[in-house]
Amino acid sequence: MCTRFIIPLAVLSRLAEDGDIAEDSRVALLSTAASELSWRTLRNAHTRATQAGSVAGALAKVPETPVFDCRQTTSLPGVAVAEPATSDDATARRAFTETAAVVRFYRECFGRNSVDNAGMTLVSSIHYGVKYTNAFWNGSQMAYGDGDGQLFLDFTKANDVIGHELTHGVTQFTAGLNYENEAGALNESVSDVFGSMFRQWQAEQTADKADWLIGKDILGPRALDKGYTCLRDLADPGAGHCLSPQPAHYRDYVPGSDPHDGSGIPNHAFYLAATKHGSASWEAVGTVWYDALTSPKARKNMTFKVFAKLTRQIAAARPSVGSPATAIDEAWAEVGL
């Protein structure tokens, strides 16, 4: 099965059963979890079709980033927002601005032209559903819920969430990682890693200055009151402040577990590599991760060990001056790979 949402179903279900949370928020969580199951077949079909076809070479055009308003319905894409860049709706402005920024991030840092490397138009649909508590890439476009206002806020408020979800599109058009077992965990990890890099790139932060949190800006007052500060933490995946804690070492990986759980292991490896090497995460170490994701050697059923070996090989082939090879090797070793 396949799901490309920022918040795992298990987390939504767990919160929906928490009697300490207001009933309207619990209803919204249950509704979100139920609707997400219907998208799985569609996303699988999109990925299979993408992998079966040939991906065109990079084009010169700048991808368009239109915004549509679902107006609290679940009908996609919704009604076109005429001028999203200057809209009175802050959600529309954020969706437009941050999607365009993700386009610049991939173009300037990795030489990639949109998620398909061929200038694909990136559609964003906002105000999806009623108090919908998630954001997702459905294989062809983005959709953002407004959140319930207590546990989760408007999902366009977190630039790393936007970077995370659009990176699922990049994975779809490159390695096509399956969404189960270790390949599924790698799929989620790649999105967390590039979402975090995007956030750091926008803030002009070096690896040692970043907080390495995912989803910090979408947690509402009730979630903060309960002690949560993020969805996930690449620096400390198992921390109690994470709404979705994860293992950080391969010995703790549970075969067949939810991809959002297992992703903590390669997430932590990237954090360790980036901080050991120093400078900006999207530079030396980030380019190795990108080259591994887009390598002809990448396979849809890649295991952690295969991906780690691929990054080691790519790093080792770089010129010795400024090479992140040692940092990457040590990072994988520290997480048991």
165 flagged as catalytic: yes
Q: Which residue spans within 174-220 are E strands per DSSP? A: 213-214
123 burial via Cβ count (<10 Å: 0-12, 13-18, 19+): buried
Active-site annotation holder among 36, 98, 165, 188: 165
Active-site annotation holder among 260, 268, 277, 283: 260
On whether residue 3 sits in a domain, the answer given is: no
On whether residue 4 sits in a domain, the answer given is: no
pLDDT of residue 265: 98
| Nearest CA among 332, 290, 288 for reference residue 311 | 288
* Domain ranges, residue 57: 9-334
Which residues, at least 6 apart from 13, have a Cβ–Cβ distance to it below 8 Å? 29, 30, 33
Across 31-35, 43-47, 167-171, the highest mean pLDDT is recorded for 167-171
**What pTM was estimated for this model as a whole?**
0.89
| pLDDT tens, position by position, 205-254 | 999 999 999 999 999 999 999 999 999 999 999 999 999 999 999 999 99
CA atoms within 13 A on the CB side of 197: 32
On whether residue 31 sits in a domain, the answer given is: yes
260 flagged as catalytic: yes
pLDDT at 332 over 90: yes
**Separation CA 230–CA 215 (nearest Å):** 5
pLDDT at 46 over 80: no
| DSSP code, position 81 | P
On whether residue 1 sits in a domain, the answer given is: no
Cis peptide before 66 (omega within 30 of 0): no
On whether residue 2 sits in a domain, the answer given is: no
pLDDT of residue 62: 81
| pLDDT tens, position by position, 151-163 | 999 999 999 999 9
What confidence tier does 25 reach under pLDDT thresholds 50, 70, 90?
A: confident
Q: What is the CATH number of the domain that holds 199?
A: 1.10.390.10
On whether residue 59 sits in a domain, the answer given is: yes
On whether residue 314 sits in a domain, the answer given is: yes
pLDDT at 329 over 60: yes
**Separation CA 146–CA 181 (nearest Å):** 31
Total domains present in the chain: 1
Residue 314 · residue 292 · CB < 8 Å: yes
3-state secondary structure at position 219: strand
pLDDT at 73 over 60: yes
On whether residue 178 sits in a domain, the answer given is: yes
β-bridge partners, 124 = 67, 142
pLDDT of residue 44: 46
